[in-house]
Structure 1
Amino acid sequence: MDKIPESAPNPLLKLDNQLCFSVYALSRLITKTYQPLLEQLDVTYPQYLVLLVLWEHNTLSVKQLGEKLLLDSGTLTPLLKRMEQRQWLSRQRDPRDERSVVVTLTDAGRGLERNAQQIPEQVAERLQMAPPELAVLRTQLQQLVTLLT
């Protein structure tokens, strides 16, 4: 059997040169940074994301929530069901459209907001970035998300 000759690696295919890996690694590490802060609230990271949207909008359809979080209903429904069992939100059929389910924040869900107030500041501190730097980075990332959706 002939041995395939070794050639110099293509720099374009080096792991460290891949945007996808940098974003993937950053996503995992950011989630890991949030984890101990969210454990204090007894909230998972996906639940926190749902709560963030509902703290802002209070009531949304499952479809609207999925659009904001870039999640399909198959992923979102079990998550919402668990959150409803914790009494953080309620789910009801929309009386105007029986096909649509409306998600509404409960008082208990709203109460979590007060306890979560310090999380963004603690994460920023952990990242050792000033608010203006974080704002620029967030804007760049949001532009990429918009471009790819």
Structure 2
Amino acid sequence: MEEAESLKLSNQICFPIYSLSKEVVNQYRPFLDQLDLTYPQYLVMLVLWESDGVTVGNIGDKLALDTGTLTPLLKRLEAKEMIHRKRSAEDERIVLISLSEKGKNMKDLACKIPNQMKQKFDLTDEEILSLKQIIYKILNSKTSK
């Protein structure tokens, strides 16, 4: 491919991925609005619904977010009374995050979202699996180089 051709937007791998990411978040919005959650807050809640009572560092590792990004997000979830933040008694540098009753009770409503999203995108289970495999292959390639 000649150099000028390689710089065309239509030849970039990044642009369709970027556009897809924005579109997916936009499609989640109506469902998350019902829960009074932003998309990043939803991701934190997913981590907590899977494993309640984890550290900020654990959440950051799972979501690939640093504490500077997570701290304000967690403070907003705490202000909404969805989580509790508590410093570890053994090491005050460690902050433990756990679900409040309100946060626990949201799980039942949130359980409907994955299927609603699947219907919105009209994808088969096989297509979803294939897409996820490609995405994880790209994400994992950064660590293997």
When normalised by structure 2's length, the TM-score is 0.91
Q: Does 1:18 align with 2:18?
A: no
Unaligned runs of 5+ in 2: none
Match of 1:138 in 2: 132
Match of 1:102 in 2: 96
In structure 1, what residue type is equivalent to 2:69?
A: T
Q: Does 1:81 align with 2:43?
A: no
1:61 pairs with one of 31, 39, 55: 55
Match of 1:48 in 2: 42
Give SS of 1:96's match: coil
Structure showing greater radius of gyration is 1
In structure 2, what residue type is equivalent to 1:51?
A: M
Runs of 4+, deviation exceeding 6 Å: none
Deviations 1:30-51 (A, max 9, x none): 0000001111111111110000
Moved more, 31-40 or 92-101: 92-101
Q: Does 1:128 align with 2:130?
A: no
Match of 1:92 in 2: 86
C-alpha distance in 2 between matches for 1:88 and 1:75: 18
Deviation at 1:147, TM superposition (A): 2.3
C-alpha distance in 1 between matches for 2:91 and 2:17: 39
Deviation at 1:9, TM superposition (A): 7.1
Please, what is the CA RMSD of the aligned residues?
1.4
Unaligned runs of 5+ in 1: 1-7
